[in-house]
Amino acid sequence: MLAIIATAGASAQNSQVLYFMNIPQNHLANPAFRPSNSVSIGLPVISGINLGVNNNFLNFSDVFLKRQSADSVFTFLHPYFKIGDFLSKIKDKNSINPQTTIQLFSLGFAIGQSGYLFFDLNEKFEANIVIPGDLFKLALSGNEQFAGSKIDLSSFRGDIRYYHEAGIGYSQNINNKLRLGVKAKVLLGIADASIDNRAFSIAVSNDYVHTLNADLRLNVSAPVKVIKDPDTGDITDVQFDDSQLKTGSQIASYIMNTRNLGFSLDLGAAYEVNDRLNLSAAVTDLGYIRWTRDVTNLVSKSSFEFSGFDMKEVIKGNKTFDEVSNKLVDSLKNSVKATDQNNPFTTYLPFGVTLGGSYSLTPNVSLGLMSYTRFIGKQIREAATLSANVNLGSALSASLCYTAENNRYDNVGAGLALRAGFFQFYLLADKIPIEWNKIIIDSKSSIPLPYDWHTLNLRLGMNVVFGNKVKKAVDRPMVDIR
């Protein structure tokens, strides 16, 4: 049986390939699933490292472009850079989602005939940034196309957070066809910076005067201090305050604080229609963090005029990027009147919903189809995955996946897990790059770079596993291994 599951998905903590693998980490995808091992232990760091970055508009080939007449590349904003080609790929909402998860410890073991109890501790860093496409167009192609109109930037968003996650879950057969699972997680926030965008727009007059209207709030939970002008009271700078982090004990105390408390929940189900067809569904990361420690709120309600932000001068070589950006920063600093407050705030985790099914061709070979939807604030991301899988108990598990997402149809991923005695080694990768470029360093050296790459999700690690007890029907969580 192959189960299709929900998780924080293609642009969050779990890779698409994980859905179809018989490894102890499968409960991260759906708490109803369990591996075939009766006991599994994950040791600090080496049991699981997940690195990922996902965006819906940029490839390596858009930043490092290949010259037609030379075996080398040039970079973004070089005079050879073609603005039109780049802007043709820009979306209305352009998102960037990096994330890192390190598993500090995990333990899972069978209870009774069909129960499975599991624990894990994870360190998580994640960011969700959305940039309106009109900002790129205004900066790179000028303001002529916007003359006499207003640019709506209400979709601009940014949220960066670092937190601990401690989870406990349990799954159980309800009958001989249905299996349910639940996982509850306590979240301890370490640091966060998020933008609360209540109103944001730029009006461009017919004589090309830019008027920015903003009602923005930057919420920060981190050791920072706000510097004000003693005469005017205006905010002049925001600096990192390292006075709380000078010694090892201070750092440990800060990282282990419990004042930024949150909770989240995973729910999952697997249903066996018959001996070959299986259905599954899950909702993951339904939760929030309440930030109360070292909170700073920078609030700006303003309307002011500025001269614009024209990157064409940089591309032409008439000005440097620093000159253009510093001019804009000076305009903002002189015109925006911000106030600092210290009010606690709440951030909500992006959550995922997946529905899917699988068909077993043989006891060890299966095909699967998954539809995944991720909700990030007001933004909805979707992906569809086809997979072919081979699972021979915990001795070998392999998967080849094809995913359509981010308006792209060239995402091929693969996973392999091998068991040697009590040790199970695994490596999973989404969006394996096929075509490569290189940056020439000198006549003897170069740096290889993937040419057409917009998504990276890599998971690797080692588990300590015991037993390979497999029940029939829905007690086999993800693969048909009789």
Residue 88, Cβ density class (10 Å: 0-12 exposed, 13-18 middle, ≥19 buried): exposed
103, β-bridge pairs: 122
In CATH, what is the architecture of 17-475? Answer: Beta Barrel (2.40)
Q: How far, in Å, CA of 198 to CA of 371, rounded? A: 32
Let me know: does 90 contact 131? Beta carbons within 8 Å: no
429, β-bridge pairs: 414, 458
Q: How far, in Å, CA of 329 to CA of 292, rounded? A: 30
Let me know: does 266 contact 4? Beta carbons within 8 Å: no
What's at 203, amino acid-wise? Answer: A
What's at 6, amino acid-wise? Answer: A
**Residue of 405, 412, 408 lying closest to 431 (CA atoms):** 412
- Strand, coil or helix: 288: strand
Q: Residue 349: what are its φ and ψ, rounded to 5°?
A: -75, 145
Structure tokens of 178? Answer: 């249905």
- DSSP letter (8 states) at residue 67: P
**Rounded average pLDDT per 10-residue block, the chain, 482 residues:** 31 62 87 91 88 75 59 58 73 86 94 93 93 83 81 90 96 95 97 92 83 88 85 77 83 86 96 92 95 90 71 63 65 66 92 88 90 83 88 86 75 89 90 67 64 74 82 40 29
- Strand, coil or helix: 378: coil
Q: How far, in Å, CA of 221 to CA of 237, rounded? A: 17
Q: Residue 350: what are its φ and ψ, rounded to 5°?
A: -60, 135
Let me know: does 468 contact 38? Beta carbons within 8 Å: yes
What's at 192, amino acid-wise? Answer: D
Let me know: does 33 contact 282? Beta carbons within 8 Å: no
What's at 26, amino acid-wise? Answer: N
Task: Name the E strands within 309-395.
Answer: 338-341, 345-348, 351-362, 365-376, 379-392
Let me know: does 142 contact 310? Beta carbons within 8 Å: yes
- Strand, coil or helix: 134: helix
